[in-house]
Structure 1
Amino acid sequence: MHVLVLSTGNPLLENALLASGHTVTVLQPAGTDSIPGTTRHTVEHWDDLDALTALEPALPDVDAIATIDEQAIVAAAHLRQLRALPGLTVDAARAYTDKATMKTALAAASLPVARHRVVHHADEVATAARELGWPVLVKPRAGLATLNTFVVRDPDHLKELVDTGAFDTRITDPTGRLTAGHVLDSLHEAPHGFLVEQFLDVEAEFFCDLYVHRGTVLLAVPGRYDAPLLQSVGDASFDTVLPPDHPDARDIADLATRAAAALGAQSGAVHCEILRDRTKGLFIGEAGARPGGGSITELASVMYAFDLPATLAALATDTRPDLDTTPRFPALTAVMIPAPAGTVTNVADQDAIEELPGVLHADIRLTVGQPAPAGIGTMTRAGRVLYVPDHLDTLDQEVADLRAALDIRAE
């Protein structure tokens, strides 16, 4: 097959398609590096659908259009619709990427979501908060990695945030992959406004990645974060894939499956965030028509022993992959390596870490004498350790011991 892939610079899907014998054309932002073995076209902005329409006749005839990048999901659906190709529709793509549309669709399907209002300026936040009740959560309609997402406690706190420029601050992107979308925009720059959302007293945050073929869930991979993401931004964190018989796993997988059905059936990966309020139970935070970020996809593929790139390539070409739903471990954790501010002066040897009990693999991207790589939002770039816990009840201490063994120092 000939596949057009919309990509922001991570060539995982492109390389997997090439390895499977497919012809690949890539549409990517101007200024990004070309991918060997592919034909390249460029785009200035993913959300400029008029420019995409003008570009479409210059693109080659293809059998499928695919992406695993959040920013390009609507653009891929738009080109797919112009070519009358199967896959996620534009309406479904907007439901998966616009949090206001998403929450409205989920609520219409009787699924638990936080109430919200769309506003266009900080001046409107207080009115929305009076309707929803203080405190409130402010977030972009389209975004990722908790960028420009924060709690507003009360009117005095709102004034403080306005005065310090919280609504006018653009995000700095050390990855260089986000410049062709609106992810880096300040809240006041958002062309269609931003969300003021009911505040949930979140005691735990879960995730679930679904691998779906023509609307049928082939594999659900539920898991949990060590702490709610808004509490762990910029801190060392760890993610754990839960076994199917874990008390929380069934409810998490069920909510994620129902969310995917409500937003739009497809062939591909769906990543869901599920929140547990201390008194109100489970809520769907959001769902994306893409694999999970960070180490979540790696956790899934190791836990269930499947080739992740080959699976994504199969789903991109509407081929049903053969996935085993039997877990290999009682649980599996990805321990994110904290990136200290400054120049690294000491870090443990990777081989020594991999010899520790329970460690499957370590990816340490800290080098003595070099500055620690900067992250963005909840995304870390310092590496991670893949670890099989002795017991979930003692996991916090096990992770603390593992981080102590890393012996990371900086000045």
Structure 2
Amino acid sequence: MDPVLIVLCAGRSEYREPMLARIAARYPLVLVSPDPPTWELPYVRDHVVVDQSDTAGYIAAAVAFADRYPVAGVFTYYEWCVEMAAVVGETLGVPHCAPAAAMRCRDKWETRTALRAAGVPSALSVLVDDVREASDAARAIGYPVVVKPRSLSASFGVSLVTGPDHLAAAFDRAGTSESNGPWEFRPGVLVEECLTGDEVSVDSAVAGGRVETAVYALKVLGYAPHFEELGHIVAAPELIVDDPALVHDIVAAAHHALGVDNAVTHTELRLTPGGPRIVEVNGRSGGDYISELGLLATGVDVGVATGDIAAGRPVTLDAGRPVTPGAARNRVAGVRFLYAEDAGTVDACEIDAAVAGAPWLERVVWLVKPGDHMSPTPGRRYFARAGFAVVTADSVAECAARMETVAAHTMIRTAVYA
């Protein structure tokens, strides 16, 4: 019997099915998930359902799989399971990221502490327990500041605060944002220096402590004063950042500071006037369809790299990046998220026919259907995504323009019924 890889949570099919299918083509998979599998069934040999908040249950299920199958490794691309995957890997004695390193990735305060100790450029940050401490920290750092939860993702609860009048509301928003995921949620609020400049992300293949930067993406933000993600643009590294070698070195230094030595990771940076600075390091591949954009634009396949690293096998590299042989490497690809602006029940989601037929519009994926309820919430607009559109282009500027063209010609109609 071939050794299996244990998958902890498969996520939504709209974002993750292509990646899981490619991993399953190389490795037999078994799944631990909070819900009965549906779309995952063609890709997994076995599965077990565990309550989403039951950390011990997830670990017990993985150990039980090891009693039934030879296990080559474990992986996740689900943020709430990053620490658990590390603990399972250590428990089963398969390739894994050290649990302490995974914890540092999940805990933004621990990230900042480790980066500061290692001299890796990041943001000045203060952990606070109440509004008074937040006010003191903001005055010491200097407005504007960024207020965020200690441990969440997708920009949940993150706000830009330009003056003291708005600090209390931002603190409350960050402090009340939490998760019921299957690992400890660490309460606390960070008040941080506001970094300026473009925000970019870098997905890396990390094996045996060697960091290979693989997918470079420019993040498109909106809905100020929050940091809601409108989309991402992926292209060759030199089209996203001015100095890919410098960015690589800073990303590698951050991994070494955190102790991350065996994982596919997603690092976010700000390209400030003083140079690149780390925003955060996530111990899993990028979400929001970034992995698929990498494959579409440059031939880089972090999905295959995820499976290879979990199994302890050599990662296929081309010029320092895991690639799909024969894939194009000179395109630009972007994803534009399509948001409902008003709360209510979805009546219709449409894109104008002239844009829908454009040759550069690769696909449109709807995440909602008529009858679904939408409730846009400042700082958590992720949950009001109605869908997303994938476009291609010959330049970053052209890609950004096409993304906005799609958004401008999209209609998401909601209605409130008595």
Give TM class, smaller chain.
0.7 to 0.9
1:348 and 1:198 map into 2 onto residues whose CA distance is 39
Structure 1 alignment gaps of length 5 or more: 184-189
Deviation at 1:198, TM superposition (A): 2.1
Cα distance in 2, alignment partners of residues 243 and 168 from structure 1: 38
Partner in structure 1 of residue 358 of structure 2: 356
Residue 339 of structure 1: aligned partner: 340
Q: Judging changes above 3 Å, is the alpha-carbon distance between structure 1 residues 400 and 22 closer, same or farther for their aligned structure 2 residues?
A: closer
Match of 2:232, as an amino acid? D
State the partner residue of 2:386: 382
Counterpart CA distance in 2 for 1:249 and 1:359 is 30
Residues 206 and 222 of structure 1 are in contact (CA less than 8 Å); yes or no, is this contact kept in structure 2?
A: yes
Q: Residue 42 in 1 paired to residue 50 in 2?
A: yes
Question: What does residue range 287-366 of structure 1 map to in structure 2 within 5 Å?
Answer: 287-306=281-300, 309-324=303-318, 325=321, 328-341=329-342, 342=344, 343-345=346-348, 347-348=350-351, 353=355, 355-365=357-367
Question: Alpha carbons of 1:370 and 1:137: their partners in 2 closer, same or farther (altered >3 Å)?
Answer: same
**Residues 82/230 of structure 1: CA separation in 2 closer, same or farther (3 Å cut):** farther
Contact 1:16 1:313 (8 Å CA) reproduced: no
Alpha carbons 1:344, 1:366 under 8 Å: kept = no
Whole-angstrom distance in 1 between the partners of 2:207 and 2:48? 28
Shift of 1:87: 1.6
Q: 2:214 aligns with which of 193, 217, 220?
A: 220
- Structure with the larger strand share: 2
Range moving further from structure 2, 267-276 or 381-390: 381-390
Structure 2 regions of 5+ residues with no counterpart?
322-326
The 8 Å contact of residues 349 and 412 in structure 2, kept in 1 or not, is answered as yes
**Distance (Å, rounded) in 2 between the aligned partners of 1:381 and 1:161:** 22
Write the distance in 2 (CA, Å) between the matches of 1:280 and 1:224. Answer: 18
Distance 1:363 1:44 in 2: 26
Q: Are the equivalent residues in 1 in contact too, given 2:265–2:281 (CA < 8 A)?
A: yes
Any idea what the Cα deviations from partners look like across 1:251-298, whole Å, max 9, x if unmatched?
Answer: 434432332233234333110111133x44321100111111112111
Taking the aligned partners of 2:170 and 2:234, their CA distance within structure 1 comes to 36
- 1:244 matched to 2:252: no
Deviation at residue 41 of structure 1 after TM alignment: 5.5
CA positional deviation for 1:363: 2.3
User: How far apart in 2 are the matches of 1:63 and 1:87?
Assistant: 11
Alignment of 1:43-122 (within 5 A): 45=53, 58=64, 60-61=66-67, 62-122=71-131
State how far apart, in whole Å, the 2-side matches of 1:56 and 1:399 are: 41
The alignment's TM-score, normalised by the length of structure 2, stands at 0.78
The CA distance in 2 between the partners of 1:346 and 1:92, in whole Å, is: 42
Contact 1:146 1:229 in 2 (8 A): no
Residue deviations 1:337-388 (CA, integer Å, cap 9, x gap): 23343433461378x6453142233324465x44475674446642222222
- Identical-pair percentage: 24
Deviation at 1:182, TM superposition (A): 5.6
**How has the CA–CA distance of structure 1 residues 40 and 83 changed in structure 2, closer, same or farther, with 3 Å as cutoff?**
same
Residues 380 and 16 of structure 1: is their aligned pair in 2 closer, same or farther, counting only changes over 3 Å? Answer: farther
Contact 1:133 1:198 (C-alpha < 8 Å) held by counterparts:
yes
C-alpha separation between the residues in 1 aligned to 2:248 and 2:236? 11
Tell me which amino acid in the other structure corresponds to 1:90: P
TM-superposition CA deviations, 1:292-324 (whole Å, max 9, x none): 111211111112235554442222212223244
Residue 186 of structure 1 is matched in structure 2 by none
Q: Secondary structure at the match of 2:257?
A: helix
Structure 1 residues 219 and 275 mapped into 2: Cα distance closer, same or farther (>3 Å)? Answer: closer
The reply on whether 1:266 has 2:252 as its aligned counterpart is no
Report whether the alignment pairs 1:27 with 2:21.
Answer: no
**What per-residue deviation string (whole Å, max 9, x for no partner) do you get for residues 157-183 of structure 1?**
334556xx5355346x8xxxx543566
Q: Kindly indicate whether the alpha-carbon contact (under 8 Å) linking 1:268 and 1:316 is maintained by their aligned counterparts in 2.
A: yes
- Give 3-state SS (helix, strand or coil) of 2:388's partner: strand
Q: 1:21 Cα deviation (Å)?
A: 4.5
Report what 1:187 is aligned to.
none
Q: Secondary structure at the match of 2:138?
A: helix
The alignment covers a number of residue pairs equal to 387
Asked if residue 132 in structure 1 is aligned to residue 141 in structure 2, the reply is yes
What is residue 142 of structure 1 aligned with on the other side? 151
Which secondary structure does the structure 2 equivalent of 1:388 belong to? Answer: strand
* Distance of 1:211 and 1:227 partners within structure 2: 26
Residue 398 of structure 1 corresponds to 402
Whole-Å separation in 2 of the counterparts to 1:365 and 1:91: 35
State the AA in 2 paired with 1:22. Answer: P
SS in 2 for 1:245: helix
What is the TM-score normalised by the length of structure 1? Answer: 0.79
Contact 1:122 1:167 in 2 (8 A): no
| Partner SS state of residue 97, structure 2 | coil
The residue identity in structure 2 corresponding to 1:299 is: L
